[in-house]
C-alpha cells in the first residue's frame, strides 16, 4: 500500500510553466505522463531564465514494507542529476525535442522517500523540468512535477 504524498520538503514553491507540450518545448510524443507540468523558479522561465542551478524536491511516502519499483521519466532544459534519498540514481539532459528522453529506475522504500532533481540552466534562455514517477507494476503515476507538491532551493 502506498500513500500518495508526504508533506512537501522545506523550500520555495515552484512556479508552473504550463502543461506538457507547452511552447517552447513541444511534446516528446512518447512521454509517459501527459499530465505532468513544466516547472521552474520564476514566472515566464519558459521564455527566459538566468543561468543557475536549483534543487527541486518532493517527497513520496511508502506505507508498505515491500519496496516499490518505479521509473522517473524526465525532460529538462538543460541538465539534471536525480537523487533518491540522498544517493544519485541518474542524470538527464534535454530530451524534449526528441522521441527519446531519460528514464531513471528507482526503488522506493518504507517511509518518506526524498526525490531531488538537481537542475542547471546552462545559458540565458528557457529553463524548466517536467518529470513523472511511474509505478512499474501498475504503470500509474505516483508523483509528477506540478506546483503544489514541489519546492526549490538555489544551489550556491
pLDDT tens column, 65-94: 999 999 999 999 999 999 999 999 999 998
Decide if pLDDT at 134 tops 90: yes
Whole-number Cα distances in Å, 28 to 74, 100, 132: 11, 7, 13
Band of residue 100 on the pLDDT scale cut at 50, 70, 90: confident
Residue-averaged pLDDT of the chain:
92
Cell numbers found for residue 57: 524536491
Question: What is the helix (H) or strand (E) element at residue 128, kind and residue range?
Answer: strand 128-135
- Answer whether 129's CB lies under 8 Å from 45's CB: no
Cell numbers found for residue 80: 539534471
Decide if pLDDT at 34 tops 60: yes
- Answer whether 95's CB lies under 8 Å from 36's CB: no
DSSP 14: P
pTM of the predicted protein model = 0.94
The CATH architecture annotation of domain 12-154 reads Sandwich (2.60)
| HEC string for 29-63 | CCCCCCCCEEEECCCCCCCCECCEEEEEEEEEEEC
Domains of the chain, by residue range, sit at 12-154
Amino acid at each position: 500500500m502506498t500513500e500518495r504524498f508526504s508533506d512537501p520538503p522545506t523550500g520555495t514553491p515552484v512556479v508552473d510553466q504550463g502543461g506538457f507540450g507547452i511552447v517552447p518545448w513541444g511534446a516528446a510524443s512518447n512521454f509517459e505522463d501527459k499530465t505532468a507540468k513544466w516547472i521552474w523558479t520564476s514566472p515566464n522561465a519558459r521564455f527566459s531564465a538566468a543561468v543557475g542551478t536549483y534543487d527541486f524536491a518532493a517527497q513520496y511516502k511508502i506505507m508498505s514494507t515491500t519496496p516499490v519499483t518505479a521509473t522517473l521519466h524526465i525532460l529538462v532544459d538543460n541538465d539534471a542529476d536525480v537523487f533518491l534519498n540522498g544517493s544519485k540514481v541518474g542524470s538527464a539532459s534535454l530530451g524534449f525535442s526528441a522521441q527519446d528522453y531519460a528514464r531513471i529506475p528507482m526503488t522506493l522504500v518504507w517511509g518518506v522517500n526524498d526525490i531531488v532533481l538537481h537542475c542547471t540552466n546552462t545559458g540565458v534562455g528557457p529553463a524548466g523540468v517536467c518529470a513523472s514517477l511511474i509505478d512499474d507494476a501498475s504503470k500509474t503515476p505516483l508523483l509528477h512535477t506540478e506546483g503544489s507538491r514541489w519546492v526549490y532551493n538555489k544551489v550556491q
